[in-house]
């Protein structure tokens, strides 16, 4: 497969699945529907973690056994997300999206009636199988159904909706478990997934995409079966796709460090109470969502998305290293973490548009599936690295490495941008 497949020969500034300009109302509906489904996906990523206190008592589990439930998530999601992209490109993103929502609904019901730790592991794996399809299918529908001029805003809404799903899960599950029981909370989660399933099915006419015909043109390859080996070989031969994978892996390592051990590190570096350290992470998440909204406007006004990413991560990385120095008053760390989150959020829409530019024709699902599996792998590895630093009583190194990973992401993004720009010129 030729690397020039990254670019649409008819228009070197756009990829082959550019959508003509259509009404704002129609685009808003499409973006909103996919955003709701994406929020549901992120909600189910945390479907068990908030219920750990109840599950520990109900099944007599250790913390290691509870942690294994999350390990199952990372292992299953990393593999199945990469493979689900092939199915998306074969049968279309909408049917796969509907199947994913159905599987989430059934998995929540299975978790609600679980009578053993083995059943919890099984239905958690089922939940991750359903969850793995949302990035490949969601991004495929956005790219094929939303006007190209509004894709930056579409990707920002997509990112914000995921954060809202994360935020809603602990509130909903803990509240229902406290008022009723953990089993009722899981049944409630199944009901939410079912409602979203009905919503997406009711408005399926807005999300349907035409079946992509088979082509002998290597720039528009389509497999004869979802997992055809030649398609897999063709995909992994694209250096630009693997550069995007590396970018996602590196940024996931950074985010994993912040989400997992930043509160503990702040307590040791600055001696602040855990409530203030936790508030810093809340500020990080909220500012990240605000940054995604602003990043949508920036992404819509430039074709050199790697420059937006470089500036954002350079700022966030320098602030992270500054936090490691422990030279500011403790309360100021809330503001500094918020600035780090804002920078990471701004890069989000440009990041997704950068991947879009690297996607071969008619292989959107495969590319997003493979690239986003890098997030799962990074999030599974980061707790090991940063946990070792905390065990060695080196909390400052946590923020230093967060900054290092963010700076490493800059070089990856610039490399992707230069490669795409060079291929545009060759195509023109």
Cα–Cα distance measured from residue 90 to residue 169, given in angstroms and rounded to the nearest whole number: 32
Neighbours of 63 (CB within 10 A): 9
Domains 21-207 and 235-427 in one fold: yes
User: Which tokens belong to 190?
Assistant: 């199944």
Residue at token pair 């406007």:
297
pLDDT tens-digit series, residues 101-153: 999 999 999 999 999 999 999 998 899 889 888 988 998 898 888 888 888 88
Residues 6+ apart with CB under 8 A from 352: 139, 155, 158, 159
SS3 track for the chain: CCHHHHCCCCCCCCCCCCCCCCCHHHHHHHHHHHHHHHHHHHHHHCCCHHHHHHHHHHHCCCHHHHHHHHHHHHHHHHHHHHHHHHHHHHHCHHHHHHHHHHHHHHHHHHHHCCCCHHHHHHHHHHHHHHHCCHHHHHHHHHHHHCCHHHHHHHHHHHHHHHHHHHHHHHHHHHHHHHHCCHHHHHHHHHHHHHHHHHHHHHCHHHHCCCCCCCCCCHHHCCCCCCCCHHHHHHHHCCHHHHHHHHHHHHHHHHHHHHHHHHHHHHHHHHCCCHHHHHHHHHHHHHHHHHHHHHHHHHHCCCCCHHHHHHHHHHHHHHHHHHHHCCCCCCCHHHHHHHHHHHHHHHHHHHHHHHHHHCCCCCCHHHHHHHHHHHHHHHHHHHHHHHHHHHHCCCHHHHHHHHHHHHHHHHHHHHHHHHHHHHHHHHHC
User: Which tokens belong to 315?
Assistant: 């700022």
Cα–Cα distance measured from residue 354 to residue 345, given in angstroms and rounded to the nearest whole number: 15
Q: Residue 297 in contact with residue 350, Cβ under 8 Å?
A: no
What string of pLDDT tens digits covers the 428 residues of the chain?
Answer: 333 333 333 333 344 445 556 788 899 999 999 999 999 998 998 888 788 889 988 999 886 787 677 666 666 777 787 778 888 878 889 999 999 999 999 999 999 999 999 999 999 889 988 988 898 899 889 888 888 888 888 888 888 898 888 778 888 998 899 999 999 999 999 999 999 999 999 999 998 875 443 333 333 334 444 434 335 555 555 677 788 888 888 988 888 788 777 888 888 899 888 778 878 877 888 888 899 889 888 887 877 788 888 899 999 999 999 999 988 898 899 899 999 999 988 988 888 888 777 666 556 677 777 788 888 788 777 877 888 888 888 889 999 999 999 999 888 888 887 777 776 677 66
Cα–Cα distance measured from residue 357 to residue 355, given in angstroms and rounded to the nearest whole number: 5
Residues 6+ apart with CB under 8 A from 308: 295, 298, 299, 302, 346, 347, 350
Of the candidates 391, 287, 405, 358, the one whose C-alpha atom is nearest the C-alpha of residue 143 is 358
Of the candidates 292, 299, 277, 288, the one whose C-alpha atom is nearest the C-alpha of residue 254 is 288
Neighbours of 112 (CB within 10 A): 18
Task: Let me know if 213 is exposed, middle or buried by CB neighbors in 10 A (0-12, 13-18, 19+).
Answer: exposed
Neighbours of 113 (CB within 10 A): 11
The pLDDT, as a whole number, for residue 212 is 43
For residue 311, what are the CA distances in angstroms to 245, 303, 398, 424?
A: 20, 15, 22, 23
User: What is the third-level CATH fold of 21-207?
Assistant: Growth Hormone; Chain: A; (1.20.1250)
How is the chain split into domains, by residue range?
21-207, 235-427
CATH H superfamily, domain 235-427:
MFS general substrate transporter like domains (1.20.1250.20)
């Amino acid at each position: 497969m030729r690397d020039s497949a990254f670019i649409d020969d008819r228009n070197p500034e756009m990829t082959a699945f550019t959508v003509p300009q259509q009404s704002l109302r129609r685009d808003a509906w499409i973006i909103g529907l996919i955003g709701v489904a994406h929020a549901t996906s992120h909600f189910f990523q945390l479907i068990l973690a908030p219920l750990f206190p109840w599950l520990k008592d109900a099944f007599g589990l250790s913390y290691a056994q509870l942690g294994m439930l999350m390990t199952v998530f990372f292992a299953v999601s990393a593999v199945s997300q990469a493979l689900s992209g092939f199915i998306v490109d074969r049968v279309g993103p909408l049917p796969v999206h509907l199947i994913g929502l159905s599987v989430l609904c059934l998995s929540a019901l299975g978790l609600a009636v679980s009578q053993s730790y083995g059943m919890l592991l099984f239905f958690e794996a089922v939940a991750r199988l359903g969850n793995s399809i949302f990035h490949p299918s969601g991004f495929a529908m956005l790219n094929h159904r939303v006007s190209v001029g509004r894709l930056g805003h579409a990707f920002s809404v997509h990112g914000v909706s995921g954060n809202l799903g994360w935020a809603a899960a602990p509130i909903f599950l803990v509240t229902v478990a406290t008022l009723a029981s953990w089993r009722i909370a899981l049944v409630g989660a199944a009901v939410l997934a079912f409602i979203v399933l009905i919503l997406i099915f009711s408005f399926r006419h807005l999300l349907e995409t035409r079946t992509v015909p088979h082509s002998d043109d290597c720039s528009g390859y389509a497999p004869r079966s979802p997992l055809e080996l030649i398609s897999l070989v063709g995909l992994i031969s694209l250096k630009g796709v693997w550069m995007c994978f590396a970018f996602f892996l590196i940024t996931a390592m950074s985010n994993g460090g912040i989400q997992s051990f930043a509160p503990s590190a702040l307590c040791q570096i600055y001696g602040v109470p855990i409530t203030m350290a936790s508030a810093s992470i809340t500020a990080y998440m909220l500012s990240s969502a605000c940054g995604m909204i602003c990043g949508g406007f920036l992404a819509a006004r430039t074709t050199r998305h790697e420059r937006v990413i470089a500036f954002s991560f350079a700022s966030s990385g320098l602030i992270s290293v500054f936090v490691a120095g422990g030279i500011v008053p403790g309360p100021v760390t809330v503001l500094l973490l918020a600035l780090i989150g804002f920078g990471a959020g701004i890069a989000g829409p440009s990041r997704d548009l950068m991947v879009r530019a690297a996607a071969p024709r008619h292989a959107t699902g495969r590319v997003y599936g493979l690239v986003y599996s890098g997030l799962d792998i990074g999030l599974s590895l980061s707790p090991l690295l940063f946990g070792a630093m905390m065990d060695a009583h080196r909390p400052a190194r946590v923020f230093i490495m967060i900054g290092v990973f963010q700076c490493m992401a800059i070089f990856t993004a610039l490399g992707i941008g230069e490669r795409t720009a060079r291929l545009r010129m060759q195509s023109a």
